[in-house]
């Protein structure tokens, strides 16, 4: 009791003596990815430098976050001051004037150091509307030991023909090893992220210049046929329900010879704590068909300020801190270079300390450079985005098309039927939204 009294008296004394600083409380909405959790853990470093700002975190599941944040921003609810959003949302929301342009990030922020492709993806009309926190593309991760055993050599930029051929050779179903693991779970951000990127490398596109859906094109047919045939012969059972996490678990457990997915997975599969194959992983660019486009996407989880926030200044301060070069150094000093958020700044890829612990760095950078959200595929398109089309309708259409393609993979429909259904679904939605007549 005495202690309590002392503590209360002490606290009261502190309160009285403390200079009256007007406290600003920032509410940051984010997803549960390890880089974000690390940032959460380092918040005290920011508040120590900015004693007038308190930071509170709301971590939510990706889809819940999207729904929650969209509702709040559309109704100007003002519940959040900093949002974690992806490259898909940035151009759409910026055009609706939902985001505050980030032009006051400070003199030493060095916008020029941001990777150009990532910077493009979070800018509209040359103005930055979100600051990239970590960026990713996709690439091939493969088992060097299995390739050596089979006498195969992975080129740095493989073709689809090579990947298909190698996958078939490396499949040993009796040993539980499958040649290739790819996403199959339906969703615009799940199988459609992969398949849209893959279709780009086959020269396919979602829409022509007049927004006419293109699923009836031979390029899409070739994409989907290649994918379904490959997965049937060399993929794991039940692939139509596999997403990023399922494939990560399969690859880490040594069940896949190849896996084409997000570049951020590279550090997870090479971490001996979580992966049984950590020392046997090689990396290569996503496959192509010689048309000048690789099957890799571009994504950046970015921090943005909603137009409804009344604490723009403090929010910008926080964003500048969390996406700065100094933050990278801070993470490196506390948790090592292997744990810094990748894929946003050129300086990171010139840092010898980082390159030493990240054997995948060179290919991550090359993959990001190879993706162009403004010119995603071989033919011209009216939309922005590599593995998506940045229009509000895409989430719904993408998921419906994803369901068709997932069904084709599981065998409950044929490739032709899936493409016909995808075409009619997309046509209907695009007519309803007024893009085509």
Partner 1 sequence: MARMVTTRNKVISTAAAWLVGFLIFFPILWMVLASFKTELEAFAIPPSFLFFHWTTENYVTVQERSDYFHHALNSIVIAGGSTLIAMLIAIPAAWSMAFSPTKRTKDVLLWMLSTKMMPPVGVLVPIYLIFRSVGLLDTRAGLIFILCLGNLPIVIWMLFTYFKEIPKDILEAARMDGATIGRELIYVLTPMAVPGLASTLLLNLILAWNEAFWTLNLSTLEAAPLTVFIASYSSPEGLFWAKLSAASTLAIAPILVLGWFSQRQLVRGLTFGAVK
Q: CB of residue 11 vs partner 1: minimum separation in angstroms?
A: 20
Residues 311-350 that bind partner 1 (CB under 8 A): none
Q: CB of residue 81 vs partner 1: minimum separation in angstroms?
A: 11
By CB under 8 A, which span of 34-42, 155-163, 200-208, 313-321 interacts with partner 1? Answer: 34-42
Closer of 263 and 403 to partner 1 (Cβ): 263
Closer of 62 and 110 to partner 1 (Cβ): 62
Closer of 251 and 337 to partner 1 (Cβ): 251
Residues 249-268 that bind partner 1 (CB under 8 A): 249-250, 252-253, 262, 264-265, 268
Q: Provide the token pair at 115.
A: 């990777």
Written as one string, the DSSP assignment of 103-136 is --S-GGG-GGGB-HHHHHHTEETTEE-SEEEEEE
Q: CB of residue 330 vs partner 1: minimum separation in angstroms?
A: 19
| DSSP run (H or E) holding 137 | strand 131-143
Closer of 37 and 152 to partner 1 (Cβ): 37
Is 186 a binder of partner 1 (CB under 8 A)?
no
Number of residues that bind partner 1 (CB under 8 A): 40
Closer of 2 and 273 to partner 1 (Cβ): 273
Closer of 138 and 423 to partner 1 (Cβ): 138
Q: Provide the token pair at 335.
A: 């948790």
Burial class (CB in 10 A: 0-12, 13-18, 19+), 149: exposed
> Which residue bears the tokens 């926190």?
133
Is 50 a binder of partner 1 (CB under 8 A)?
no
Closer of 275 and 328 to partner 1 (Cβ): 275
Is residue 265 within 8 A of residue 300, CB to CB? The reply is no
Is residue 189 within 8 A of residue 133, CB to CB? The reply is no
Is 59 a binder of partner 1 (CB under 8 A)?
yes
- CA-CA-CA-CA torsion sign (244, 375, 368, 178): positive
Is 232 a binder of partner 1 (CB under 8 A)?
no
By CB under 8 A, which span of 28-36, 112-120, 280-288, 425-433 interacts with partner 1? Answer: 28-36
Strands (E), 233-331: 258-262, 281-285, 298-304
Q: How far apart are the first and last CA of the chain?
A: 77
Q: CB of residue 68 vs partner 1: minimum separation in angstroms?
A: 6
Closer of 54 and 225 to partner 1 (Cβ): 54
Closer of 31 and 128 to partner 1 (Cβ): 31
Alpha-carbon distances, residue 418 vs 184, 224, 427 (angstroms)? 14, 9, 14
Closer of 184 and 213 to partner 1 (Cβ): 184
The pattern of x and - marking residues 272 through 311 that bind partner 1 according to CB under 8 A reads --xx------------------------------------
Closer of 40 and 50 to partner 1 (Cβ): 40
Residues 233-252 that bind partner 1 (CB under 8 A): 244-246, 248-250, 252
**341 contacts: CB under 8 Å, gap ≥ 6:** 35, 38, 39, 133, 134, 327, 328, 331
Rounded distance between C-alpha atoms, residue 419 and residue 108, angstroms: 50
User: Percentages helix, strand, coil for the chain, rounded to the nearest 5?
Assistant: 50, 15, 35
Torsion of CA 144, 149, 153, 157, to 10 degrees: -40
Is 23 a binder of partner 1 (CB under 8 A)?
no
Residues 64-123 that bind partner 1 (CB under 8 A): 64, 67-68, 71-72, 74-80
Is 58 a binder of partner 1 (CB under 8 A)?
yes
Cβ-count burial 253-289 (b if 16+ within 10 Å, e if not): ebbbbbbbbbbbbbbbbbeeeebebeebbbbbbbbbb
- Give the closest residue to 237 by CA, choosing from 259, 256, 252: 256
- Give the closest residue to 135 by CA, choosing from 386, 436, 309: 386
Query: Using the rule CB under 8 A, which residue among 60, 278, 312, 407 binds partner 1?
Result: 60
Query: Using the rule CB under 8 A, which residue among 11, 12, 56, 218 binds partner 1?
Result: 56
Angle ∠(415,421,422) on CA atoms, nearest 5 = 85
- Interface residues toward partner 1, by CB under 8 A: 27, 31-34, 37, 40, 56, 58-62, 64, 67-68, 71-72, 74-80, 189, 244-246, 248-250, 252-253, 262, 264-265, 268, 274-275
């Amino acid at each position: 009791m005495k202690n309590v009294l002392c503590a209360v008296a002490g606290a009261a004394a502190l309160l009285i003596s403390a200079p009256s600083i007007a406290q600003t409380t920032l509410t940051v909405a984010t997803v549960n990815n390890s880089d974000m959790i690390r940032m959460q853990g380092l918040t005290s470093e920011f508040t120590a430098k900015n004693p007038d700002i308190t930071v509170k975190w709301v971590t939510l599941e990706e889809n819940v976050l999207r729904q929650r944040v969209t509702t709040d921003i559309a109704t100007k609810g003002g519940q959040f001051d900093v949002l974690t959003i992806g490259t898909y949302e940035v151009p759409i929301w910026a055009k609706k004037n939902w985001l505050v342009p980030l032009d006051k990030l400070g003199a030493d922020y060095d916008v020029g150091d941001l990777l150009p492709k990532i910077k493009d993806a979070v800018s509209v009309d040359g103005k930055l509307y979100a600051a990239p926190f970590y960026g990713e593309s996709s690439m091939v991760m493969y088992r060097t030991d299995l390739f050596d055993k089979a006498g195969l050599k992975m080129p740095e930029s493989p073709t689809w023909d090579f990947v298909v051929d190698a996958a078939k050779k490396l499949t040993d179903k009796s040993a539980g090893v499958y040649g290739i693991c790819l996403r199959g779970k339906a969703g615009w951000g799940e199988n459609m992220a992969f398949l849209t990127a893959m279709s780009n490398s086959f020269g396919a596109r979602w829409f022509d210049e007049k927004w006419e859906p293109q699923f009836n094109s031979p390029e899409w047919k070739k994409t989907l046929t290649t994918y379904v045939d490959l997965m049937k012969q060399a993929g794991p059972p039940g692939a139509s329900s596999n997403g990023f996490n399922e494939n990560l678990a399969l690859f880490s457990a040594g069940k896949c010879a190849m896996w084409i997915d997000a570049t951020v997975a590279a550090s997870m599969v090479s971490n001996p704590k979580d992966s049984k194959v950590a020392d046997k992983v090689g990396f290569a660019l996503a496959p192509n068909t010689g048309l000048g486009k690789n099957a890799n996407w571009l994504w950046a989880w970015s921090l943005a300020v909603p137009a409804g926030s009344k604490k723009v200044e403090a929010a910008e301060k926080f964003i500048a801190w969390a996406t700065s070069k100094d933050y990278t150094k801070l993470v490196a000093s506390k948790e090592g270079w292997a744990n810094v958020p990748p894929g946003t700044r050129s300086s990171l890829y010139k840092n010898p300390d980082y390159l030493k612990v990240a054997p995948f760095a060179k290919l991550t950078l090359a993959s990001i450079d190879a993706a162009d959200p403004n010119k995603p595929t071989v033919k011209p398109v009216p939309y922005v985005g590599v593995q998506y089309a940045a229009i509000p309708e895409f989430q719904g259409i993408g998921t419906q098309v994803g369901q068709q393609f997932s069904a084709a993979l599981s065998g409950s429909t044929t490739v032709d039927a899936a493409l016909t259904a995808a075409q009619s679904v997309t046509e209907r939605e695009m007519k309803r939204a007024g893009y085509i007549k």
